[in-house]
Amino acid sequence: MEKPRIYITRKIPDEVIKPYKQFIDIRMWEKATEPVPRDILLEEIKHVDGLFCLLTEQVDQQCLENASKLKVIANMAVGYDNIDVTSAKDQGIIVTNTPDVLTETTADLAFTLVMATARRVVEASDYIRAGKWKHWSPFMLAGADIHNKTIGIVGMGRIGQAVARRASGFGMEILYHNRSRHKRAEHELHATYADMDKLLEESDFVVSLVPLTEQTEKLFHQETFHKMKDTAIFINVSRGKVVDEQALYEALRTKEIAAAGLDVFANEPIGVDHPLLNLENVICLPHIGSASVDTRIDMMKLCLENIHHVLNGEDPVTPVE
Ligand code: DGY
């Protein structure tokens, strides 16, 4: 019997795909660091039963119109706002993502940004490199404490809870806002549910971990930043579009809030001319939340496992519900 065929939109290591080669005919975009061109994706998708894609691909209506054989889309990310899930489901295509395997790694990065912004780590390193370190002095690059402060987590999903666990180790008070209450987090992590206004007003660190949906687009806007303390630090490791970037820029420029640590942007990749890069009180990272070697390999394996399950007539491991 002919093997089912899949397309992977990025070159991934041979040892990751090797175990699946006996079951699946695998084609792959040839480059590891550059996304597949749109016209090639539109052509490839016509012929495959499964698509393994990244958040750099927009799997939209136009793409899906071409996908008459497609049965499964495995997105190598926990977020799936790059996929038109409703249209895919209407066509009977199963969509999967990669939750769990990236939770701790992404929470590590979120907490790295909390610490690096509070203690001005990037600025301090640049300070030495620029030859500015002439003397030690009491307030040279003095930042904010992290321990015993209040962290406000917006989006208490798996990653939110993992951030809360880290915050708890630092003796922080934990506030959270979420669509629904998380009794377990309240019980185990002593996290307190707060409405958005209270969270914004009382938190020293506001951490965005909400997925991008119609409801969360520009959730953080002018008024939101206005409600935060002027010493507050804003961290975003979810999706750039949940923030009104112009409003954030103004809030940082006018010191309405103290600093920001951003792993994600409204339009990625950003270039060196992005206004936020002109501000000293911002740390910008190129969307590396889940970027540890082990986790990225686990994400790849989970995508292949999901595809293998579906093409074998079994339930996917991590379907997007
Ligand atoms: C995700 O999984 O959604 C991240 O943003 C990519 O690592």
15 carries an active-site annotation: no
Q: H helices within 30-178, ranges in order?
A: 38-44, 61-65, 85-90, 103-118, 121-129, 158-169
Residue 260 in this model has a pLDDT that exceeds 90: yes
User: How far, in Å, CA of 299 to CA of 50, rounded?
Assistant: 16
Q: Please tell me the predicted confidence (pLDDT) of residue 79.
A: 98
Position 14 confidence tier, pLDDT thresholds 50, 70, 90: very high
Strand order in the sheet with 25-28: 25-28, 5-8, 50-53, 72-75, 94-96
Q: Please tell me the predicted confidence (pLDDT) of residue 1.
A: 79
287 carries an active-site annotation: yes
* Cβ partners under 8 Å of residue 13, min gap 6: 297, 300
Classify residue 267 by burial, with Cβ atoms within 10 Å: 0-12, 13-18, 19+.
Answer: exposed
* All structural domains of the chain with their residue ranges: 5-100+293-311, 103-284
pLDDT tens for residues 219-236? Answer: 999 999 999 999 999 999
Nearest CA to ligand 1 atom 6: 77
Centre of ligand 1 to C-alpha 249, Å, is 24
Query: Which of 106, 216, 296 has most ligand 1 atoms within 8 Å of CB, for mutation?
Result: 106
Nearest CA to ligand 1 atom 1: 77
Q: Please tell me the predicted confidence (pLDDT) of residue 224.
A: 98
DSSP assignment, residue 66? Answer: T
DSSP assignment, residue 83? Answer: B
pLDDT tens for residues 309-319? Answer: 999 999 999 99
- From the alpha carbon of 238, which atom of ligand 1 is closest? 5
User: How far, in Å, CA of 126 to CA of 133, rounded?
Assistant: 10
Q: Do domains 5-100+293-311 and 103-284 have the same CATH topology?
A: yes
Q: Which helix (H) or strand (E) holds 69?
A: none
Arch. (CATH architecture) of 103-284: 3-Layer(aba) Sandwich (3.40)
User: Counting every residue, how long is the chain?
Assistant: 321
Classify residue 215 by burial, with Cβ atoms within 10 Å: 0-12, 13-18, 19+.
Answer: exposed
Q: Which of 120, 177, 182, 239 is catalytic?
A: 239
Among residues of the chain, what percentage have pLDDT more than 90?
Answer: 99
Q: Which of 188, 223, 268, 280 is catalytic?
A: 268
Q: Three-state DSSP class for 176?
A: strand
pLDDT tens for residues 50-100? Answer: 999 999 999 999 999 989 999 999 999 999 999 999 999 999 999 999 999
- Name the nearest CA neighbour of 292 among 116, 30, 12, 104: 104
User: How far, in Å, CA of 94 to CA of 72, rounded?
Assistant: 5
pLDDT tens for residues 161-208? Answer: 999 999 999 999 999 999 999 999 999 999 999 999 999 999 999 999
Average pLDDT value over all residues in the chain: 98
CATH number of 5-100+293-311: 3.40.50.720
233 in contact with ligand 1, CB cutoff 6 A? no
79 in contact with ligand 1, CB cutoff 6 A? yes
Q: Please tell me the predicted confidence (pLDDT) of residue 300.
A: 98
Kindly report whether the global pTM for this prediction surpasses the value 0.75.
Answer: yes
Position 298 confidence tier, pLDDT thresholds 50, 70, 90: very high
Q: Three-state DSSP class for 79?
A: coil
Q: H helices within 244-292, ranges in order?
A: 245-253
Centre of ligand 1 to C-alpha 77, Å, is 4
289 in contact with ligand 1, CB cutoff 6 A? yes
Contact 101, 77 (CB under 8 A): no
Q: Which helix (H) or strand (E) holds 285?
A: none
78 in contact with ligand 1, CB cutoff 6 A? yes
- Name the nearest CA neighbour of 148 among 216, 204, 227: 204
Q: Please tell me the predicted confidence (pLDDT) of residue 101.
A: 98
Position 41 confidence tier, pLDDT thresholds 50, 70, 90: very high
- Peptide bond just before 286 cis, omega within 30 deg: no
DSSP assignment, residue 212? Answer: P
Mean pLDDT across 139-165:
98
* Cβ partners under 8 Å of residue 228, min gap 6: 200, 201, 203, 206, 234, 251, 256, 257
Residue burial 79-113, b: 16+ Cβ < 10 Å; e: rest: bbbbbbbebbeeeebbbbbbbebbbbbbbbbbbbb
Nearest CA to ligand 1 atom 2: 77
Contact 114, 146 (CB under 8 A): yes
253 carries an active-site annotation: no
